[in-house]
Structure 1
Amino acid sequence: MAKNEVPKGEPFDLEKLQTLFEMMEKHGLTEVNLKRGDETWKLRRGPQETISMVPTAMPHPAQHQQPVAPAPPAAPAAPQEAAALAAESGPVIKSPTVGTFYASPSPDDPPFVSVGSKVGADTIVCIVEAMKVFNQIPAEMNGTISEILVKDGEAVEFGQPLFRITQG
């Protein structure tokens, strides 16, 4: 088998994909095109870019029984407006990736945090599910949750504010 030839049916390595997303962010890249065999992937990020894959409203991580209809596309200016509003009102915890926001580890568990919860830099505040990978999101700052800006099960964009924090 040739060096760049890949057996059919094998998925991309999700750890390498996550590393690629991090490298895109670090180096300010907004698009990467990958081709392996007959499979082609286009990765795009940033508020001005069009995302070729529409995120769907997925059931909570513990519920995978029922198919769910796709979420309606968001207005193009919504993430920018939310970011501008959040910048005016204090520090925010932002989504590190495109995905689905979950406030708790499972439907039967209480939310990780609620308004009034004190958080530290390592406190897990939510999960963002992207491509069947459930990413625990830390606060990365000390303070108190003053506002939750998204609803459980809602699709979120890269860099979208999730929580407003009062520091002190």
Structure 2
Amino acid sequence: MNPKEIKNMIDFIAKSGLAEVNIETEEFKIKVKRDTEAQVIASAPAAAPAPVAAPAPTAPASAATEAAPAPEKAAAKDDSSKYVEIKSPMIGTFYRSPKPEDPAFVNVGDTISAGDKVCIVEAMKLFNEIESEVSGTIVKVLVDNSSPVEYDQPLFLVDPA
């Protein structure tokens, strides 16, 4: 590969949203990996709108029922603030296991380490294994199996303690 081909490949990968690509031939071996830590740090404030969207269907209810969700919202923010989100690095379809008959990569209560595979996101017929960037215990799976996910959408809550 010449430098122009490498640059074009890197540009394509950046636009596609892939987190990591490995290419190996007889002549060379190349690995391109995005720095996803900067994305996680920058996206931390984006977690606040998610709890706001969930109570929206209760808005037409009576004033008595509206008072009840307010403490739940505050409690949810306090509880989830100690958890770290594992987010989707791309748009695609979320899978909890490598094959439908195989067990899930992780379940609620499982202890994970940084670098452990937690799920697969399929994008354009490519199955991308998503690795955890944090160590801890899986507290909640936020996405159903075989569901579409957006870029930067939270997939799991992890208790880093």
Q: Answer yes or no: same fold by TM over 0.5.
A: yes
How far residue 91 of structure 1 moved from its aligned partner, in angstroms, is 1.0
Q: Is the 8 A contact 1:97 1:157 kept in 2?
A: yes
How far residue 151 of structure 1 moved from its aligned partner, in angstroms, is 0.4
Larger CA Rg, structure 1 vs 2: 2
1:112 partnered with 2:105: yes
TM-score (norm 1): 0.53
In structure 2, stretches of 5+ residues that fail to align are: 1-7, 19-33, 36-46, 54-75
1:92 partnered with 2:92: no
Take 1:160 and 1:18, find their aligned partners in 2: how far apart are those partners? 19
Deviation by residue 1:96-129 (Cα, 9 ceiling, x = unmatched): 0000000000011000000011111110000000
Aligned to 2:127, which of 126, 134, 137?
A: 134
Take 1:82 and 1:158, find their aligned partners in 2: how far apart are those partners? 14
- The alignment covers a number of residue pairs equal to 104
Q: Which has the higher helix share?
A: 2
**SS of 2:143's equivalent?**
coil
Match of 1:122 in 2: 115
Percent identity of equivalent pairs: 43
TM-score (norm 2): 0.55
Match of 2:137 in 1: 144
In structure 1, stretches of 5+ residues that fail to align are: 1-12, 27-78
Deviation by residue 1:38-69 (Cα, 9 ceiling, x = unmatched): xxxxxxxxxxxxxxxxxxxxxxxxxxxxxxxx
Match of 2:50 in 1: 82
Take 2:160 and 2:94, find their aligned partners in 1: how far apart are those partners? 23
Would the alpha carbon gap of residues 91 and 98 (structure 1) be closer, same or farther in structure 2, given more than 3 Å must change?
same
C-alpha RMSD of the superposition = 3.2
